[in-house]
Amino acid sequence: MQLDRIDRNILSVLQGEARITNQELADRVGLSPSSCLNRVRKLQEAELIGPYLGIVNLAKLFRSVTVVATVSLKDQSTEAFRCFQEAAQAIPEVVECHVVSGSFDLFMRIVAPDMLRYNAINDQLLDVLPGEVNISSHVVLHTPKEFSGYPLNELWEGYN
Amino acid sequence: MQLDRIDRNILSVLQGEARITNQELADRVGLSPSSCLNRVRKLQEAELIGPYLGIVNLAKLFRSVTVVATVSLKDQSTEAFRCFQEAAQAIPEVVECHVVSGSFDLFMRIVAPDMLRYNAINDQLLDVLPGEVNISSHVVLHTPKEFSGYPLNELWEGYN
DNA sequence: CGACTAGACGAAATATTATTTCGCGTTACG
DNA sequence: CGTAACGCGAAATAATATTTCGTCTAGTCG
């Protein structure tokens, strides 16, 4: 799929203001509402954008603990990775999981109601491959910059 | 602000389907459209939910490199933290930044067009407090679980 | 116990927005 | 040139959001 400047603008706007109306979006990118809607649908069908998330303010809802955990696997076989990933995915409190190269193998973000329950999740993950998993936990103290979309303009510039 | 079961349902739905229509949402949570809209607005005004993000599929847009970086500061003074955080925030490619306790001090997610440019960002961050910053970079190979909202049900259960 | 108040709800009316339809212009290609 | 394919926008229609308003309920005070 070939994207022009207008498509890029649509993606930029939509990634930061998912609930914008089609009319407003059309105005911003300089299209008629119908043309704009056509484009948005094509972008969605091509899965270039979506899902659309509402970011909940956890801190205002209840006390909770967010932990970033790094994982090292003693046995770095494909099979071991597969096992661990599957287990991690299945745990709702593991909100994010990445396989990385570097001084550890996986990275996770975990949100739990309190430390006691985080401990339980940690134990559960350690039990997936007993003795083969090393988890290093880091409690999030505060978050100077929350994710709110990718730097599309910078990435496009870099792409040319 | 006091939340009941309906408010929680609204938050659950909205966090995963931000572009849902008010009518559909009202049906799902068992309210009339007008009551539902009232609640959504109150939730937004209280900043319990929002912003609304459209998640862009980076991989389908262009090649890019995502790095998770851990940062240690030699001088752990408040001032040093403040300097580094400010610098990190100001860089668009740093899409996320957390201050943590544990074997490192900060955690960042960085998205760059390629390694050359990642290197430049890395250098830029090292120069903020010359000789005082230690950055460990980990290229993301793949992502078994992408963030798509918090486990609100589990957190509420834990809260009672 | 009864009356009053505040708050929340839903039905219905209205305003806004989404979506479809269709004709026009532009471009690519024979 | 002629033609087909495509994308655009205007306008009509359908769906949705938003406001208004009367009703109900729970809580409170006399």
- pLDDT tens-place string over residues A43-61: 999 999 999 999 999 999 9
Window 9-48 of A, Cβ < 8 Å to B: 11, 14-19, 46-48
Comparing alpha-carbon positions, the chain A residue that sits nearest to B61 is: A48
Q: At residue B129, does pLDDT exceed 80?
A: yes
Span A106-111, average pLDDT: 98
C-alpha B17/C-alpha A53 separation (Å) is: 6
Is residue B90 less than 8 Å (CB to CB) from chain A? no
C-alpha B114/C-alpha A103 separation (Å) is: 20
- pLDDT tens-place string over residues A117-157: 999 999 999 999 999 999 999 999 999 999 999 999 999 98
Please state whether strand C lies within 7 Å of residue A33 at its CB atom: yes
Q: What is the mean pLDDT of chain A?
A: 95
Give the start-end residues of each E strand in chain B: 49-56, 65-73, 94-101, 106-112, 133-145
| Class of residue A42 by CB neighbours under 10 A (exposed 0-12, middle 13-18, buried 19+) | middle
pLDDT band at residue B158 using 50, 70 and 90 as cut-offs: confident
- Cβ within 8 Å, pair B107-A46: no
**CA of B160 and C1' of C17: distance in angstroms?**
42
- Measured CA to C1', the nucleotide nearest B24 is D16
- What is the per-residue pLDDT for A158? 81
Q: Are A97 and A111 a contacting pair, CB within 8 Å?
A: no
- What is the per-residue pLDDT for B160? 65
**CA of A76 and C1' of D26: distance in angstroms?**
62
Residue in the structure block whose two tokens are 């940062």:
B71
At residue B88, the 3 state secondary structure works out as helix
**Where do the domains of chain B lie, and which CATH numbers do they carry?**
5-54 (1.10.10.10), 58-139 (3.30.70.920)
Tell me the shortest Cα–Cα distance from B2 to chain A, in angstroms. 10
- Taking alpha carbons only, the member of B133, B4, B64, B21 closest to residue A152 is B64
- Cα–Cα distances in angstroms (integers) from residue B140 to residues A63, B31, B143, B156, in the given order: 30, 43, 7, 32
- Using a CB-CB cut-off of 8 Å, the residues of chain A touching B88 are 144-145
Q: Which tokens in the block code for residue B142?
A: 């793949």
How many CB atoms within 10 Å of residue B144? 18
Is residue A57 less than 8 Å (CB to CB) from chain B? yes
- Cβ within 8 Å, pair A52-B54: yes
- Cβ within 8 Å, pair B53-A55: yes
Please state whether strand C lies within 7 Å of residue A18 at its CB atom: no
- Measured CA to C1', the nucleotide nearest A23 is C17
C-alpha A68/C-alpha A141 separation (Å) is: 11
pLDDT band at residue A160 using 50, 70 and 90 as cut-offs: low
Comparing alpha-carbon positions, the chain B residue that sits nearest to A157 is: B113
- pLDDT tens-place string over residues B25-51: 999 999 999 999 999 999 999 999 999
Tell me the shortest Cα–Cα distance from A148 to chain B, in angstroms. 7
- What is the per-residue pLDDT for B132? 96
- Cα–Cα distances in angstroms (integers) from residue B117 to residues A155, B5, B67, B133, B134, in the given order: 10, 48, 12, 19, 19
Q: B150, B152, B153, B159: which to substitute to probe chain A, counting the most A Cβ within 10 Å? A: B150
